[in-house]
Amino acid sequence: MKTLFIIADGLAGRPNDLDGKTCLQAAKTPEIDDLLASRGIGGLMDPIKPGVRPGSDTAHLSLFGYDPYQCYTGRGVFEAAGIGMDLSKDDVCFRTNFATIDNQGNIKDRRAGRISEGQDQLEEALSELKSEKYPEVNVRFKRSTEHRGALCLTGSDLGGNLTPTDPHELGIPIPNSEGEDKGSGKTAEILNEITKKARDILSDHPLNEKRKKEGKLPANAILSRGSAKYPEVEPVEEKYGVDASVVAAGALYIGVARVAGMEFKEAEGATGTVDSKIINKAKVGLEELEKGKGVVFLHFKGADNASHDHDAEAKVKFIEKIDETFGWLKENINWEETHLSFAGDHTTPIHYGDHVADPVPALVAGPSVRKDQLEVFDEYSCREGGMGRFSGNLLPITMSYSNQIPKFGA
């Protein structure tokens, strides 16, 4: 049997999202409701455990069946893996922003006006980065979307516990990084040196001269945060004995899945925003199952973007787009050999605009499921579902229905 694992980022909400309802309640979801009623079982899931506000990275680790308290090292490694950087246990990785520094040396814009062109040229210029004090340490930079990028330092005796050079404030100089231990102190020294060298390289770059003439903010510095060593995560093929693919658009989610040993597959028109053509993700996902993959993970991001933007209407529309995708999936999945699960990775209420610890609705559907009485999929109805309230592990729960989980003990 096969497993299709679908996560809608930031799906769940609170009753003050929209006229006394959550956005999931307000949205028209006949296809998801029908799937739950006809083939499924539902419940409420704490992505990590009750009372813990999950990050997207830690939530996904938990949903995949890993203990984030044991294996989570930080976000930087997932961002780097997600944009295609090859990583090893000797890497310390950072999320980066192109930023604008004014003539007084203070941070004017943390995103360089959300730069949208010329990043390849800046990446090429930053390929010159190296440490004079520690020349044996390899320095790599790679751009991502808009202002985003990743920086990786590769070498022995490097630590990942250091303070960021991105203060999340404006009008102050770039702070020096400081390490919390000997190895991290070495990493901080290198990061401070690299940060200064990047400013020297970028300040006189022709692209930035051109941007200034056009009245745009120059991308004349990089800010780094989210330092992380490569985590000790057992690949899903070793942990569960199956090959797996991920179909996603956001670097973070691709990165978590790649570190977990999943093969990334791109879908045309997948943007990671509310305008994403998520039907194409579903089509690629089923193609991967047909090619022999035992597990396929689909990630839909748009609901979370709308939540962070406090846009209830956009969130409702995106949830309804997900429902339309489920209508196509229901007609095209081989239900004799496939189990599907669907949930949010965390609750993101419209008014608060960030992740909270509230549990999320979850369902599993397929031929081996002991169906419950639920007919509606939302935060309220799923309280009465046959899965009860549980914490994380949704992927292994689903795989268990597909007889894909190794036995524990004799």
Q: Is the Cβ–Cβ distance between 130 and 142 less than 8 Å?
A: no
* Count of domains forming the chain: 2
Domain assignment of residue 80, yes or no: no
Domain assignment of residue 79, yes or no: no
| pLDDT per position as a tens digit, 28-52 | 999 999 999 999 999 999 999 999 9
Which residue, 187, 212, 229, sits at the end of a domain? 229
Query: Are 201 and 286 members of one domain?
Result: no
Q: Is the Cβ–Cβ distance between 297 and 284 less than 8 Å?
A: no
| CA–CA–CA angle 197, 78, 116 (5° rounding) | 60
Q: 272: pLDDT confidence band, cut at 50, 70 and 90?
A: confident
- Residues paired with residue 43 on neighbouring β-strands, in sequence order: 362, 388
Domain assignment of residue 200, yes or no: yes
- At 33, which CATH number? 3.40.720.10
- In degrees to the nearest 10, what's the CA dihedral of 53, 59, 65, 69? -60
Does residue 202 surpass a pLDDT of 90? Answer: yes
Strands 295-300 and 2-8: parallel
Token pair 């090429």 in the structure block, residue: 124
Does residue 273 surpass a pLDDT of 90? Answer: no
Cβ-count burial 374-385 (b if 16+ within 10 Å, e if not): bebbbbebbeeb
Which residue, 229, 258, 285, sits at the end of a domain? 229
Does residue 175 surpass a pLDDT of 90? Answer: yes
Domain assignment of residue 77, yes or no: no
Q: Residue 122 is part of which domain span? A: 85-229
Helix axis angle, 182-203 to 119-126, nearest 10°: 120
Query: Are 63 and 33 members of one domain?
Result: yes
Q: What is the pTM of this model?
A: 0.92
Domain assignment of residue 252, yes or no: yes
- Give all strands (DSSP E) within 272-404, no chain letters: 295-300, 338-344, 360-365, 388-391
Query: Are 213 and 269 members of one domain?
Result: no
| pLDDT per position as a tens digit, 248-267 | 998 999 999 999 999 999 99
Domain assignment of residue 121, yes or no: yes
pLDDT at 381: 97
Domain assignment of residue 288, yes or no: yes
Closest of 208, 189, 221 to residue 96, by C-alpha: 221
Query: Are 351 and 238 members of one domain?
Result: yes
Query: Are 44 and 95 members of one domain?
Result: no
Query: Are 105 and 7 members of one domain?
Result: no
Which residue, 201, 229, 257, sits at the end of a domain? 229
Structure letter (DSSP) for residue 11: -
| pLDDT per position as a tens digit, 330-356 | 999 999 999 999 999 999 999 999 999
Query: Are 219 and 98 members of one domain?
Result: yes
| pLDDT per position as a tens digit, 58-110 | 999 999 999 999 999 999 999 999 999 999 999 999 999 999 999 999 999 99
Query: Are 244 and 285 members of one domain?
Result: yes
Q: Please tell me the distance from the alpha carbon of residue 97 to that of residue 199, in angstroms, as a whole number.
A: 13
pLDDT at 330: 95
Domain assignment of residue 300, yes or no: yes
Q: Is the Cβ–Cβ distance between 244 and 264 less than 8 Å?
A: no
Query: Are 210 and 315 members of one domain?
Result: no
Does residue 410 surpass a pLDDT of 90? Answer: no
Dmax (CA) for the chain in angstroms is: 72
